[in-house]
Amino acid sequence: MPQKKRGQTPVEEAVARILNALDVPEKTEEIPLLQALGRVAAGDVCARVAQPPFDRSALDGYALRAADIAAAGPETPVTLPVSWYLCAAAGPETPVTLPVSRYLCAGSDPGGPLAPGTAARIMTGAPVPAGADCVLRQEDTESDGQTVTFHAPVEARANVCFAGEDIAPGKCLVPAGTRLDEVYLGLLAGQGVQTVTVYAKPRAALMPTGDELCSPEIPLRPGKIYDSNGPMLAARMLRLGAEPTLLAAGPDDPAALAGKLARLLAEYPLVITTGGVSVGDRDYLPQAAEEAGAKLLFYGIDAKPGTPALAAGKDGHVLLCLSGNPFASFATFELLARPALAKLQGADPAPVRVRAALANGFGKPSPLRRFVRATLMGGVVTLPKGGHFSGGIGALAGCNCLVDVPAGSRALNAGDEVEVILL
């Protein structure tokens, strides 16, 4: 493996090589529905029942046959007797003191068919009785409790949510590979689903490297820094549904690093390091990866920050070595590691990209493709003021996207349309 020579592999090609080197996930588990938030469905989940399960009223009013009041008008009102009172609150056997003959609620049998020439008082969500083909809102009627008067006709099917209108039985609600969010959980809960089969969380090892790194319980000495990359990227893995193992900092020693990497690659499908990957005299990761028996996938990407990123594969597992500069490590993690974690979960590895206008400019031209931290809100992208160097982390706080600036771009101005990758 070349130790001090690196190329400029396009980012998309680098991602493709990483994904091709990773084994497809096989382990699944069945977990309670409320524990499945953020997890990835391991198989299609289809509707068991129709939604709604019966014809239901969309509002408070009167269920009737549209034909019975077809002649209604301001000068020719039509009056019908109120036969039933249907609501969405009480039980089917709960009587109430009302000037009506019957009280039925949602979920109960609404009784026999609605007799022609009659109307049923009905509440939102209540079942529409057989024979009725529409509901007229109560605000458009007059009633004394026994009869109801209509001053205008109504179309058939008006204000009725028909059985299966939203979801038909057998419809695929959750395709395999879907990351489950709150809405999907609601869909499944509405089907009576209590458990769901998901891919097991991918395990990944994260090892910062560098003799300059200091544990937080030790006071800083001259030349030392606290490690921010490890906790930051480990937390990011957790948010992305992985199980990270954050290791102590690896030393600037090629033999020790090689032995450590070999052991980690035997245990973890994805191993990520930060630092020691450039072309300096003490950047030992390229050499250590080779000595660990990993096959080079690429060394160097055509983008800033994080140009020296390296990936190597061994037996279906992948080693990904990122820059030690905090923003560079974060950006290249999003570009390279996040798709790998998605594949290991059975999810779509492609990032979500949108186009938006810049609220403020970026004064640097970009001879090389560049990824710039930013915040997207209301279709407008705001770049943080200052702090755009790869070693900075302060300006990253609060950012929710990366602006993808093509190679050869001029300085960007407010109002320019750009493409962003959502974080």
pLDDT of res. 92: 37
Does residue 94 carry a pLDDT above 50?
A: no
152 domain-assigned? yes
Q: Domain boundary residue among 199, 222, 250?
A: 199
Predicted pLDDT of residue 86:
65
Q: Given a cut of 90, is residue 199 above it in pLDDT?
A: yes
Q: Which range, of 16-20, 225-229, 281-285, 349-353, averages the lowest pLDDT?
A: 281-285
Calculate the average pLDDT of the chain: 88
Instruction: Kindly report the CATH number assigned to the domain that includes residue 40.
Output: 3.90.105.10
> Does residue 354 have a pLDDT over 60?
yes
Q: Which residue has the higher pLDDT, 369 or 104?
A: 369
Residue 4 inside a domain? The answer is: no
Residue 96 has a pLDDT of 26
- Mean pLDDT calculated for residue range 44-63: 92
Given 298, 324, 344, the domain boundary residue is: 344
Which of 4-18, 196-210, 359-373 shows the lowest mean pLDDT across its residues? 4-18
Give the count of beta carbons closer than 10 Å to the beta carbon of residue 295. Answer: 14
Share of the chain above pLDDT 90, in %: 64
Asked if 262 and 177 sit in the same domain, the reply is no
Query: pLDDT band at 95, cuts 50/70/90?
Result: very low
In a domain, 3, yes or no: no
Least confident range of 73-77, 159-163, 397-401? 73-77
Between 66 and 385, the more confident residue is 66
pLDDT at residue 217 is higher than 70: yes
Please check whether residues 308 and 391 belong to one and the same domain: no
**H or E segment to which residue 284 belongs:** none
225-243 mean pLDDT: 92
Asked whether residue 50 carries a pLDDT value surpassing 90, the answer given is yes
Q: Are residue 190 and residue 277 in the same domain, yes or no?
A: no
Number of domains in the chain: 4
> Of 273-282, 352-361, 365-374, 398-407, where does mean pLDDT reach its minimum?
273-282
Residue 2 domain-assigned?
Answer: no
| In the predicted structure, residue 71 carries a pLDDT above the cut 80 | yes
Return the pLDDT at 2.
44
Tell whether the model's pLDDT for residue 344 goes beyond 70: yes
Determine contact, residues 119/83, Cβ cutoff 8 Å: yes
Alpha helices of 211-334 — where are they, by DSSP H? 229-239, 254-267, 285-291, 326-332
Domain final position from 107, 134, 161: 161
Q: Do 340 and 412 fall into the same domain?
A: no
- Of 30-34, 124-128, 379-383, the one with minimum mean pLDDT is 124-128
Residues 236 and 297 in one domain: yes
What percentage of the chain exceeds 70 in pLDDT? 91
Mark residue 359 as left, alpha or beta (left: phi above 0; alpha: psi -120 to 50; beta: remaining).
Answer: alpha
Q: Are 422 and 376 a contacting pair, CB within 8 Å?
A: yes
C-alpha dihedral (17, 19, 21, 27), degrees to nearest 10? 180
Chain segment 124-137, per-residue pLDDT in tens: 889 999 999 999 99
Nearest-angstrom CA–CA distance, 323 and 305: 9
- Predicted TM-score (pTM) of this structure: 0.80
Query: Binning pLDDT at 50, 70 and 90, where does residue 107 land?
Result: low
DSSP per residue, 66-133: GGGGTT-BTTB-EEEEEEEEEESSS-TT-----SSS-EEETTS---SPPPTT-EEEE-TTPBPPTT--
pLDDT-derived band at 194, boundaries 50, 70, 90: very high
pLDDT above 70 (res 5): no
User: What local confidence, expressed as pLDDT, does residue 49 receive?
Assistant: 92
Q: What contacts 108, CB < 8 A, 6 or more positions away?
A: 91, 92, 127
The number of helix segments (H) and strand segments (E) in the chain equals: 7, 27
The verdict on 22 and 68 lying in the same domain is no
Cβ 191 vs Cβ 172: under 8 Å: no
Same domain for 293 and 378: no
CATH of the domain at 360: 2.40.340.10
- The number of residues making up the chain comes to 423
Q: Residue 93 is part of which domain span?
A: 56-161
340 and 217 in one domain? yes
Are 110 and 145 within one domain?
Answer: yes
Comparing 40-44, 101-105, 308-312, the range with the smallest average pLDDT is 101-105
Domain annotation covers residue 62: yes
Q: Read off the pLDDT of residues 290-341 as tens digits, 9 standing for 90 and up.
A: 999 999 999 999 999 999 999 999 999 999 999 999 999 999 999 999 999 9
- CATH number for the domain spanning 133: value is 2.170.190.11
Residue 190, in any domain of the structure = yes
Task: Give the model's pLDDT for residue 377.
Answer: 95
Residue 246 lies in a domain: yes
Residue 1 in any domain: the answer is no
| Whether 298 and 326 share a structural domain | yes
143 and 282 share one domain: no
Q: Is the pLDDT of residue 269 over 90?
A: yes
Instruction: Check pLDDT > 80 for residue 93.
Output: no
The predicted pLDDT at position 396 comes to 86
Instruction: Using pLDDT thresholds of 50, 70 and 90, give the confidence band for residue 391.
Output: low
Shared-domain flag, residues 229 and 330: yes
